[in-house]
Every structure is written in C-alpha cells, then in structure tokens.
C-alpha cells in the first residue's frame, strides 16, 4: 500500500484545542454575538473590493480581528486533526480516512447544489461563508464515527 505522509499523533491534542476553541467561539459569535476582541487591525490584502468602491490589489485594509483569528485557528486545527496519524495507523484506518474524505466532499457537493437551487440573496452568501467549515466538520464526524464502529466491532 502507498504510504501517505501524515503528521505525528503528538500534534493531535494541539489540533483538538485549536479546533474546539475556535468552533465554540464561532458558534458563540453566530448565535450570541460573542466578540470579545472588538478590535480592528490593519492587514495586508492581495485583493480588496469594498462595497461601492473600486477594487484594489496589494493594499492594506482595516478589518475586525475576531473573525480572521477564529477562521484561521479553525482552519489550522482542522488541518492538524485531518492530517495527523492515529496511534496505530494501519490500512484499515487509511481506508476509513479515504472513505470519510469522499463522504465529506460528496455531502458538501450535494449541500451546495441544494443551496444553489433553493437559497438566494444574502442567505446564500452566508451559506458560502459557512461552507468553509463543512468539509472538515463532515470529515471529522464521519472519520471518528467509523473508527468508533470499527473498534467496537473488533472488541
């Protein structure tokens, strides 16, 4: 079997901390308007298109720190979790990993198709923003559920 290079299992707790804390902060911000970092920072932008203004390239923009920080931490945590080995990585876990990835991409595609056909306006723009998190969430849920089922069957 072809070995896919993965991160060491030692990174997994760090990934869970980043993933869980950023997920909780994102949900809190979504439903409870929790934004304890009400700070604007100046960040470099490759492309910036403000409302009712001409787009600019390679510029600096003022933006809120909270969404940028939470989105970055969520992405980093997801990458660490998805690409970290299990304690005992074998061919079955590799198969489960591939199956979970296919499920995540397939479910995401069906979800997007549904939204393209039936959701419009600002709600669709919000869906596209939240869509950033769907593949990692579906992957992690499916992967760990399948691992749980496999371990349960072997005991």
pLDDT number for residue 2: 66
pTM summary value = 0.86
> What is the DSSP pairing of strand 56-64 with strand 40-48?
antiparallel
pLDDT number for residue 1: 57
Which segments of the chain have a pLDDT < 50?
none
Q: How far apart are CA 46 and CA 25, in angstroms?
A: 27
Query: Under 8 Å CB-to-CB from 133, ≥6 apart: which residues?
Result: 26, 74, 78
């Amino acid at each position: 079997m072809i070995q896919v290079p993965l991160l060491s299992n030692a990174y997994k707790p760090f990934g869970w901390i980043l993933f869980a804390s950023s997920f909780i902060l994102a949900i809190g911000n979504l439903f409870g308007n929790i934004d304890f970092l009400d700070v604007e920072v100046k960040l470099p932008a490759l492309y910036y298109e403000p409302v009712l203004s001409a787009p600019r390239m390679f510029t600096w923009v003022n933006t809120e720190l909270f969404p940028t920080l939470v989105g970055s931490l969520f992405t980093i945590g997801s990458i660490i979790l998805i690409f970290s080995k299990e304690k005992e990585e074998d061919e079955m876990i590799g198969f489960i990993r591939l199956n979970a990835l296919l499920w995540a991409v397939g479910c995401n595609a069906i979800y997007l198709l549904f939204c393209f056909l039936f959701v419009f306006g600002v709600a669709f723009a919000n869906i596209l923003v939240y869509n950033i998190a769907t593949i990692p969430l579906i992957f992690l849920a499916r992967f760990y559920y399948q691992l749980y089922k496999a371990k349960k069957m072997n005991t």
